[in-house]
Amino acid sequence: MPRERELKACFSQSFVQCCSIPLNPIIENPENESAWKLLLLVPRLLLQPVSRGGKSGYKEVERRFRLFKEEKWGELFHITKRSGCKREVVADSDLKTRISTNSESHLVSSVLNKIKFGALSRAANILTSSGIASDTDDTFQKLKQKHPSDRILSSNTEPSSPPTSQPIQISENTFISSLQGCPNGSSAGNDGWRFEHLKMLLYSDLTWKALFNVCNLILGGLCS
pLDDT tens for each residue of 45-74: 888 877 777 788 888 888 999 999 999 988
The answer to whether residue 134 is domain-embedded is: no
pLDDT at 197 over 80: yes
The percentage of the chain sitting over the pLDDT mark of 90, rounded to a whole number, equals 23
pLDDT of residue 121: 73
The answer to whether residue 151 is domain-embedded is: no
The answer to whether residue 96 is domain-embedded is: yes
Q: How far apart, in whole angstroms, are the C-alpha atoms of residue 147 and residue 151?
A: 7
Helices and strands (H and E) in the chain: how many: 11, 0
Taking the chain, what is the end-to-end CA distance rounded to the nearest angstrom?
31
Q: How far apart, in whole angstroms, are the C-alpha atoms of residue 37 and residue 22?
A: 8
Residues spanned by the domain of 59: 4-129+169-219
The answer to whether residue 78 is domain-embedded is: yes
The answer to whether residue 145 is domain-embedded is: no
Sequence-distant (≥ 6) Cβ neighbours of residue 144 within 8 angstroms: none
Mean pLDDT calculated for residue range 195-215: 90
Whole-prediction pTM value? 0.60
The answer to whether residue 19 is domain-embedded is: yes
The answer to whether residue 111 is domain-embedded is: yes
For 178, what's the count of Cα atoms within 13 Å in the CB-facing half-sphere?
A: 9
Q: How many folded domains does the chain comprise?
A: 1
pLDDT at 37 over 70: yes
The answer to whether residue 97 is domain-embedded is: yes
Q: How far apart, in whole angstroms, are the C-alpha atoms of residue 123 and residue 118?
A: 9
